[in-house]
A and B are shown apart, each in its own frame.
Chain A
Amino acid sequence: MTDLPGLSRRSLLVSAGVAGIAAATPGLAGCGASGDPAGGAHGDRLTLGTTQIMQFDPYQTNSALHIHSFYSYLIDYAPGGYRTVPAGAEKWTIGSDFRSVTITLRAAKFHDGRAISAEDVVAGVKRALNPKDGFTLVQPSEFIEKATAVDKRTVRIDFHYAVAEGIVLDWMFSFPLVPADHNSGAALANKPAGSGPFRLVEYDPNRRLRLARNADYWDKGKPRLKEIEFRFFQDDQAMVSALQSGDVDGAMYLEFNDVAQLKDQFTVAQGSGRMDIFFMNGGMPPFDNVRLRQALARAIDREKIIKQVRFGIGDPVYAPIMPGSAGFDKSYLTSHAFDLDAAARLLKKAGGERRATAAVSSDPGASQMMQIIQDDFKKIGFELTLKPMEATAFLNDLFAGKLECCVANQPNTLQSPGLVARGRAMLPSQDNVMMKNRVPQSYIDAVHACNTATNAAAQRDAYARLNKVIVDGAWAVGISTKKSLAGLRRQISGYAVDQRDYLILDNLRTR
């Protein structure tokens, strides 16, 4: 990014229309003095803008972008697909009966200098199996019976039943290495304890997070940068302005409307992101009527939403299954395409109340998306009243199952379509906030079939069943993928995002 040296300080201050300050502020426009929190890629140091970072427990998140900088996971996936890359695990063997995996850990050290041992993995698995402290790892780990340390660097994990290889790999991809004595929600809330490429230097929860290179990182030659600072922004537009004016070198989690104004001057990188899903609460009227849900599902104009809200970035989805996953069946996009006539016909047959309240989260684009849906629903005679909600209030009511309908995100299903039932509370087999106790048994069976299908034919069959039951159930209607976007100065290269949207910063460098 270029500065504009041609513009003199004087003319700028005069153009501010406040001549009075000129006397008081000599040299304001000058380059950052010492103590200046400016960005400006100083060779081995970068400042990145992002939304607030709140905690450091890898068990508690599957979306916090900073977490992979502190922690190594058992394996990584190569960018763009699901080719496995050894990371914390040097090698692994899945038992021939698909009921165990034996993992050999890499000789590496935690940030505190202690060697990573099999016992750390055993403690980590134990935590993942504890429903009170395992957080986002509880459901993905439910197939695991126990972990045993074979020797110092070998650990064997036994399963309750035979599971698909993809499930095991997705689990290894999601399993972080944490020292056994620090592995609890309370210990990791404010301080990371991993073996990743960066270590924590300073954390001010309201302003910034500073990371420094981990000299003992197992991947020699990495990370390339000495220091990375995250600056927190509550406001996307303030962050974009900061990038444009050079206050930061990069901005993470951009909104889609920023791309047009940034793409000529900056590198805009896309991560695989999550999915926007339209949820209808099957536990209460009017959406307890499955035919009504099916009718409205046909009145969601994915193309228009992608074009106007996501500015052409993103792929349509019909259900919470990520394109690129083996379970994604694009024929549903045509058989269940946007069709107001069909929707009107189905709605007529469905009967029931023709009005509902849609909660609108404070997520960027959620309001516009809901307004487009509202507009189309109106055309087929269904009145949607929008109710904007503050972020926390929205989450609270969503998890309490109080929302009639809403648009919310769903995380990447990775390799295994069965992971659709993981994590968020709207799609699990039990404690489902959208369907309460009406979760179709066929859905529960199909998810289980996906997770246990160990050969190609069984997988094909299970995936087809899952697709059909989700589309017919119509409580979670896919809209599109929601890519994660970052804007970076042109001099920066080596930026990457993994399949969960975690930043891979170890290869980041400036030219």
Chain B
Amino acid sequence: MATLSMASERVRARSGARTFLSRYARSRSAVVGAIGLLVIVVCAVAAPLLAPYDPTAQSAGSLLGPSGSHWLGTDDLGRDILSRAIYGARASLTVGCGSAALGALLGVPLGVVAGYLGRWTDSVSMRFVDLLLAVPTVLLALVITAVIGASRINLIVAIGVAAIPQFARLARAATLSIRDRDFVVASRGMGASTPDTMFRTVLLNLLGPIMVQLVITASLAVVVEAGLSVLGLGVPPPTPSWGGMLQEARGYLYQSPTFGVFPGLCLAITVFCMDRVGHGLRVAVGVESAGATTRAVI
């Protein structure tokens, strides 16, 4: 019986996947977002091929305006802004996706365990989740990066920890709703490894909402990473990141507008694309808009 149910769930998921793309494609802006995001990912992956210069080479004069050889000019240390912006996608995407993934990896099991075991385990983990939710992400990240230092991995940890609550709540709600369903109870009765069943069933049920939440969290993480960089606590130099470029550019907004405008634009476009992809996913998997609980202004 358990295997039967599992199989049917799987079939449902597969047929869902078939309609998924057609539903997604119904939103034009979602398609635009997906294409945009793809371009950004390509920029990040193929940066060495696309960037005209080494992003850390201090070769040209500093603060040059846009020209034929440097399309967007150079920064305060004479590095090519375009190349840095292209490479900057790496920092934003790795921190964005990494922290979203970490949030999911920690949050989903927490939610499942809390929902499944209930009682005090549930109470304790949900209070922990409330706590994380109540402390502003930037403050949390500020303290964490001050303790363990600012590096790409540490930023992922800092922002990922702050992203736990959304995933935990999602997973807990889903677990609660299926905990007492027949096949789970039955598999428990048959001595099957219940946590394993739980995880699989919950994940299958949650695939859609988690995907949506992943994209939302990633876009938020991109902004938080950039915000921390503006405060000088982002990815360490000379690795380019958009937030870091914005921070460097703050002193030159007057003399060299392209320096400060372009990284900001890159950020906005990335956030836009992620937002649209999130929207498309939401439509495609039929999830009510999540993400209302995120702190957007940092």
List residues of A whose CB falls within 8 A of some B CB: 236-237, 240, 255, 257-258, 260-261, 308, 360, 362, 367-368, 370-372, 374-375, 386-390, 393
Contact = CB atoms under 8 A, between A and B. Distances in A.
A255 B251 contact: yes
Contact of A371 (B77, B233, B251, B252): B77
A308 B78 contact: yes
A370 B254 CA distance: 25
**10 nearest interchain CB pairs?**
A257-B251, A261-B254, A237-B250, A390-B146, A388-B236, A371-B238, A367-B237, A388-B150, A386-B236, A371-B237
Contacts of B146: 390, 393
A308 B151 CA distance: 25
Given A237-B250, A372-B58, A390 B233 contact: yes
A246 B62 CA distance: 29
A362 B234 CA distance: 12
Contacts of B257: none
B29 interface: no
26 contacts: A236-B251, A237-B251, A255-B251, A257-B76, A257-B251, A308-B62, A308-B76, A360-B236, A362-B232, A368-B76, A368-B77, A370-B237, A371-B56, A371-B77, A371-B238, A372-B58, A372-B77, A375-B58, A386-B236, A386-B238, A387-B149, A388-B232, A388-B236, A388-B237, A389-B149, A393-B149
Contacts of A236: 251
Contacts of B149: 387-389, 393
Given A375-B238, A388-B150, A390-B233, 6 more contacts: A257-B252, A308-B62, A360-B237, A368-B76, A371-B56, A386-B238
B255 interface: yes
A386 B237 contact: yes
Interface string B245-261: 00000111011000000
Nearest to A238: B250
Interface residues of B, number: 21
A237 B58 CA distance: 24
Interface in B101-119: none
A236 B247 CA distance: 11
Contacts of A240: 251
A314 to B, nearest CB: 16
Interface string B191-231: 00000000000000000000000000000000000000000
A258 B56 CA distance: 23
B259 to A, nearest CB: 11
A157 to B, nearest CB: 45
Contacts of B233: 388, 390
Contacts of B76: 257, 308, 368
A386 B78 CA distance: 19
B248 to A, nearest CB: 8
Contacts of A387: 149, 151, 236
A255 B254 CA distance: 15
Interface string B272-288: 00000000000000000
Nearest to A240: B251
Contacts of B232: 362, 388
Contacts of A257: 76, 251-252
Contacts of B58: 308, 371-372, 375
A375 B78 CA distance: 12
Contacts of A388: 149-150, 232-233, 236-237
Contacts of B150: 388, 390
A255 B247 CA distance: 14
Nearest to A386: B236
Interface string B66-83: 000000000011100000
Contacts of A258: 251
Contacts of B145: 390
Contacts of A370: 237
Nearest to A359: B149
Contacts of B238: 371, 374-375, 386
B166 to A, nearest CB: 28
Contacts of A237: 250-251
Contacts of A371: 56, 58, 77, 237-238
A308 B77 contact: yes
Nearest to A258: B251
Contacts of A372: 58, 77
Nearest to A261: B254
Q: Which of A240, A255, A257, A258 has the most CB of B within 10 A?
A: A257
Contacts of B78: 308
Interface string B139-150: 000000110011
B216 to A, nearest CB: 26
Contacts of B62: 308
Interface string B146-188: 1001110000000000000000000000000000000000000
A389 to B, nearest CB: 7
A277 to B, nearest CB: 20
A168 B171 CA distance: 73
Contact of B56 (A261, A308, A375, A393): A375
Contacts of B252: 257, 261
B231 to A, nearest CB: 9
A261 B236 CA distance: 27
A389 B77 CA distance: 21
A391 to B, nearest CB: 10
A255 B252 CA distance: 12
A367 B151 CA distance: 14
Interface string B39-77: 000000000000000001010001000000000000011
B225 to A, nearest CB: 14
A63 B186 CA distance: 74
A32 to B, nearest CB: 25
A389 B233 CA distance: 8
B226 to A, nearest CB: 16
Contacts of A261: 252, 254-255
A372 B76 CA distance: 11
A258 B76 CA distance: 12
B62 to A, nearest CB: 6
Q: Which of A236, A258, A261, A368 has the most CB of B within 10 A?
A: A368
A130 B275 CA distance: 63
Contacts of B77: 308, 368, 371-372
A257 B253 CA distance: 11
A372 B79 CA distance: 12
Contacts of A255: 251
Nearest to B145: A390
A249 to B, nearest CB: 20
Contacts of B56: 371, 375
Nearest to A307: B62
A372 B77 CA distance: 8
Nearest to B75: A368
A260 B250 contact: no
A370 B62 CA distance: 16
Contacts of A360: 236-237
